[in-house]
Structure 1
Amino acid sequence: MDILISGASVAGPVLAYWLDRFGFDPVVVERTPRPRLGLGGHAVDLFAPATEVMDRMGLVPRLRAANTDTSVLRYERPGRSAIEVDLRDFSAAFADERHLEIMRGELAAILHEATGSGVEYRFGDSIATLAQDPRGVDVTFDSGRTGRFDLVIGADGLHSTVRRLAFGPEDRLRHHLGGYLAVGTLPNYRELSEQTVLYNAVDRIAAMYPVWQTGAARAVFLFRRRGGTDFDHRDIDAQRRMLRAEYGNEGWEIPRLLDEMDRAEDFYLDSIGQIRLDSWSRGRVALVGDAGYAPGPAVGGGTTLAVVGAYVLARALAEAGGAPGAAFTAYQEQLSDYARRCAEVAPAVLRRGVPSSRAQLRFSEAALRLLPRLPAPLRHRLMAGGPSTKLADFTLPAENTDPGSERYTTG
């Protein structure tokens, strides 16, 4: 059974890996001209359910070796003493040995390598048109080549081409949360090691953390813009101007960080929005990861949800013998409650993590000073039920078949 997957970042390779193990014939098409190798992007979290998927793939040792190793948060404000917090004591996520933090580019490279020779990749191409009938989907690619597939899966992210072709324009399906995220690489001029430095102001935060594998660092900006704004997510120069407009009057390390973002080859900025769909499938076309249910980039556990969603979808297809109706229904039934809970995290993170007033700014600073001094049981009780708890709360389908030795029948 031939299944075309659009997107080779996270959800696409995970889905392709399991489809191959379950006896399907996946083909992955990816717009970028080559595999995502290296350490690009920002640091992403793999919470317990995603780590379990990685464990079933045999990848946890390699992922642990690539862990970011940033366990200390240093909160700095000019004219005041810095606050240092050991995240392993402060955050339930960092205290959980099943939690992993890894650079997105390195995760994508590890997943691509894990799929092995059983998965065909077509880099430097993208889907241009889709036309489906009851028996299959005819696809035309940007390159001009054509093909017919039994199923097409969109794993192509927040700005999904497959979603646009099968479900309609993005602006009808994306809900803006009022926040924006920007990231980029810069020299580790502060010689940070295992430490993230954080700066807060009203409606904006900025942070910098080291990438130990390269000796460089990564800057992250998270800000709220009242009323939102329209911008082209492909216009990098406009995005840099937008970032300067938001942070140009700030002190601390901000002037240096903005200059470095002007030079960063991997600079990225996007609005933080959620994709909300009643159904993640249309006939023989389905969506996985951010393409179908993005909970909010960098603040909603989207990487964990993408990994879990890809695994659940692959098993649903295997258990349904490849029948799309039954498989896609089971996939949504098994995942929808978890996706809803993940979607609740992002607004809460933006609301609590990005101060909206000077009073909230003072309260956040006071809380950071106080919490590390509390007894561990009380601190854990206060942190219970937080965002990381929701992101870790999912039970994977049982491994009722060893996919390495016995394949499902796909019909």
Structure 2
Amino acid sequence: MTPHIRPVTEEDLPHWCRALHTAFLSTPEVPKEEIEFRTPLVNTGRAQGAFEDGRCVATFRSFDQRLTLPGGADVVADAVSNVTVSPTHRRRGLLSRMMAGDLRAAKERGDAVATLIAAEYPIYGRYGFGPATWVTDWEVEVARTGLDRRYSGPADGGQVRFADLAEVREHGPGLHERLRARQHGAVDRSERWWLRKTGELPDGRPWEEPFSVLYRSPEGSVDGLLMYTAEDVWEGKLPQCPATVQELIAVTPAAERALWHFLLSVDWITRVRTGHRAPDDVLPLLLPDPRAARVVTHADYLWVRPLDIPVLLEARTYAASGTLVLDVTDPDGLAGGRFLLEAGPEGARCTPTRRAADLTLGVGELGALALGDESASRLAALGRIGEERAGAVALADPLLRTARRPWCPDIF
């Protein structure tokens, strides 16, 4: 019997969640809090399931998202999440069918891109996605940093103060939006996101209240938020307490320096795990001894799949000026074609053209280039971009790449 793919109803939700748990090797038991948390998500009609004999054997969900591009403008994205196929039903085309239907619907809605965070790297390239942002995690050995442990507050005259969760809910959303306006690769956060983050909206997963800290500038504006947990670990009457950053939002360099310096000066904390940060985060260089920050993870993160190439390329900014004809192949027929990109600091135009191509590339390669992280020269060296006009690759790098790397702080 071929599993039937259809939108998920409230009655399906326990079975859908159980399939999700099974594929992600979580406990098969689904807490009632998770069912309650996910119920509103069903009402969008964008949660799919594959069903066979009353059992859910594959899951898929998408939702509206805003993705920030270089320069601060954002575009509507089709965010893909909760993708699973049960081990008993692999290699039957279930994901391909669900993905194809979702991407067609996103194209018809006018979404500029689709996004996802890939649990496994090899899966999503065949659907036209390319890795557009990366993340790095550091573990900092506090004793080696060289920072003055007699920290008494920000050098700029600002204030670092503990906050309760009500203050986090008050200031956090605005801080994130200020960050998102300047950080390409970032995505928007819903009110539900903040309620879950602060324990107001249980989702069935364990939650521990973190320590929360706000940074206020000398002028009184709240410019930074730090949330972290710590473990009370002692060995031989000596503290060996690790801390883990749950959230660090800083919208000014002063706020970023102040929050890191504060956390690295807390008594008894001997190691700090940073969580996912931008791959070019300033943290190591804030330390007198950057080697105190050891990289423990460096991996691809947000993947982008172009759906409307002119909208995507016209919405971002460009530090250099240039003209390129891009011949983009898309086996799914959603976004392919030949496009003339005329771009510079004053703006950009991207239009269909019959001119000879300068570069040939797949839609996934364009997704990897779209936020300014990947190098056209590197992809050309791998044979994944074809140079049809001499010098086109050399022009593409300064045109498309950005001075700072894109970063997506969120998992979804």
TM-based fold match above 0.5: no
- Choose between structure 1 and 2: higher helix proportion: 1
Greater Rg by CA: 2
Determine which structure has greater relative contact order: mean sequence separation of CA pairs < 8 Å that are 6+ residues apart, divided by chain length: 1
* Higher share in strand: 2
Q: TM-score, normalized by length of structure 2?
A: 0.24
